[in-house]
Chains A and B, each alone.
Chain A
Amino acid sequence: MQNKLHYEFEHQAMATQFSIQIVGEEYEDAETASMLCFQRLDALELVLSRFVPDSDISRINRMKSGDELLLDFETWDVLKKAIAIHQKTDGAFDIGVAEYVDVFRATKQGILSDFEMVNALQSVFKKAQNASIYVDPETPKIYCVQEGMTFDLGAIGKGFALDQLSELLEELSIKNYVINAGNSSVLAKGVSKNASCWSFPISSAREEFAVQLNNSAVSATGTFFQGDHIFDPRIGQNICNSMYERVWVSSQSAALSDAYSTACFLLEKEQFNELLQNNSEIAWIAISENGKIQFFTQKNIPLAQYLIS
């Protein structure tokens, strides 16, 4: 398996940088596959971004009470996944946070004073408490029974996009690849250039581990790039001191690893084992706390299975 062909391609989308590494394919096949992936990524962004006014998400966010809307298949799919994870994490994962984010942004820009921000957050929370949005389980359709909730897919969209690209690469018979969304979600399949699987470092101030991704994804959520203020959708407020420096979650699906890593950032360590027990799709959770990394795995599966020694 020496001297395997290995090519990497980059593309800006979803306010970050995506990259695709493809191993064992001729350059032209790898380039065509990456081009199709990036076209797919751009198309997904146009459907899923709330900052694109014609997207499905923007149109959902403009729905009034009594409105219904037909959705793209992908929008329907990601909303169903988001609802499932919202329920499994008792609301720690929530895509209904768009207006909170807008309030924070307006305060940073000086449009709202700090005092106005606090009142605005309470108002948004109250509206969201009264809102009712139904996603049809049978057809790609959404109903707004009571308006007052607006969606932002920032905590699942990039992972979902990686899953979609992975599906496309499989269709193109590309078997060995890693797709990376701004280093916060990585999905790997098959073999890397030099080994039988892909490996990536995860590190804290005092430790570093190499985790192996064997047909799986890992996502991170942390304070390093976003500051120490973490929004908790369950109470509609910021938590000023987060429990962890960073959280990583691994799953076969990047949409799930992306969403669960966001939720786990708000969960107590004691809740992780229960979450793992009830959700077999999560392979492992890791946290960085006071510079030390601690792993949580499914029962009876040793941590060594996921680490490169």
Chain B
Amino acid sequence: MLAGTGLVLANPFTASASVLSANDKVNVAIVGCGGRGSGMIFNNIPKIPSANLVAVCDIVESRREKARDRFYTLFDKKIKAYENFYEMLEKENLDAVVLATPDFWHMQHSVDAMEAGLHVYCEKAMSNKLEDAKKMAQVMKKTGKLLQIGRQRRSNDRYRFTHQILLEREKMFGRLTHAMGQWNRSKIWTMKPNKQDKIDISKLKQYGFDTVDQVYNWRNYTKLGGGVVSDLGSHQIDIFNWFLGSYPHTIYATGNNSYFNFEQADTMATILEYDTPNGPAIGIYENISNSRAIGVYERFIGDNGAFIISEGKDNKIYRESRVKSDVWQKYIDAGYISNMADMKKYKAKQSGDSGIMETAPQISYNINEMRDMDKVYNLPAHTAHLYNFIESVRGEETLNYDAETSYKSEVCIYKIHEAINAGGAKVTIDPLEYIV
């Protein structure tokens, strides 16, 4: 019998390539060293062997210097830190920039970078103005440069598996009739500068900010960001559109800022009407900013089954009772899903034949192995999405979510804004509006 060594601290192989030492790399800079930018610098980039981080950029000196220094400490690699985006483009030999800045900067930086010959990965939302989002997609098409938008669920293996195998190929859930989603959080936090953040007030206006608060809490200002619908809802409504295979023709929405009294709505709800290739469907979506209870997820209802999917703990697949269990057995046999908490391998007999005992739980299913996919990244979604971009720059992949696709979901988001701002109106969308 093979005797295992258990869990040990050692390398089983004689040679190991450094995470950051592969050849044929894409020279990349990250713009914005806040929460998302830090995640890219320290969690995403180091897992992408073909990405070579050469510089970071942030208008807050302590943030960019901390990022530069910490990267050196953790990964033993020196990178440059810039205050000014354009100075960085001029001085560095870059192939691509990654934008993790406030929404209002996205269009100008994206367009200028693409026109300077660089590829761009831009965090969502594309912009806080629909016409700017459209311009970004237009410039992408005109220049032929790549522009990936950072809705990372599009590169999440489980979301891709659900779409590609369970929905499109197996049609496991029948006709999808409803998509529901929510993003509940306990409050809209407002941040103050850290004690060591050095803020040069005179510089803020140069970069489009009127106050220090705008730098740290830009999401709360209409001229800088898109509010909860853009920040949170756009991730999930994009999944509605993707999984339903269409875009809404009519939107009802309402919301208000009564809880926190910021410029942007803190509470909203919307109903979206779709004509999908399989028949009519509706989407129901809400944002709550005063309670984190019952969390963040998307839920889809079909006539043969339903599922909850999320980037957190809420993930479950349910079979509709009218579908016999042996019909879904083929999905279990194929390894796509598992039931009974994957404990069937330990059962001596069939479920229900183990004796009379306490009430058994409702049977639900989980995604088991993501087989038969075009590609499984086996990376956290943010990393996978950036990896897809870097590999597309290298010509090894095509973008999972380019600006033209993203623009269609941005149209929905801005129509929701329109309905909310009109005090809860019904808004119809001409199919031509989705076209760049």
A contact set with B: CB distance below 8 Å:
12, 28-29, 31-32, 35-36, 39, 43, 46-47, 49, 51-56, 59, 62, 69-70, 72-73, 79-80, 82-84, 86, 95-96, 102-103, 105-106, 109-113, 115-117, 119-120, 123, 128-141, 143, 145-146, 148-149, 171-173
Contact = CB atoms under 8 A, between A and B. Distances in A.
Nearest to B3: A130
Contacts of B327: none
B357 A113 contact: yes
23 contacts: A47-B380, A53-B367, A54-B380, A55-B380, A73-B74, A102-B341, A105-B341, A110-B357, A110-B360, A111-B340, A111-B341, A113-B348, A115-B348, A119-B346, A128-B4, A129-B4, A131-B7, A134-B11, A141-B16, A143-B13, A146-B2, A149-B6, A172-B195
B192 A29 contact: yes
Contacts of A111: 340-341, 343, 347, 351, 360-361
Interface stretch (B172-180, B311-319, B406-414): B311-319
Given A105-B341, A141-B16, A172 B194 contact: yes
Given A59-B378, A110-B357, A132-B4, A139 B346 contact: no
Interface in B179-219: 189, 191-192, 194-196
The 7 closest A-B pairs by CB, nearest first: A120-B346, A113-B354, A106-B343, A130-B4, A132-B5, A110-B360, A131-B4
A112 B195 contact: no
Contacts of A146: 2, 4
Contacts of B158: 53-54
Contacts, number: 165
Q: In the complex, which range does the number of interface residues on chain B fall in? A: 35 or more
Given A49-B313, A172-B195, A110 B380 contact: no
Nearest to B49: A70
B161 to A, nearest CB: 11
Interface string B12-56: 110010110000000000000001000100110011000000000
Contact of A173 (B16, B195, B355): B195
Given A105-B341, A141-B16, A141-B19, A35 B191 contact: yes
B11 A130 contact: no
B373 interface: no
Interface string B297-317: 000000000000001110100
B6 A131 contact: yes
Contacts of B379: 70
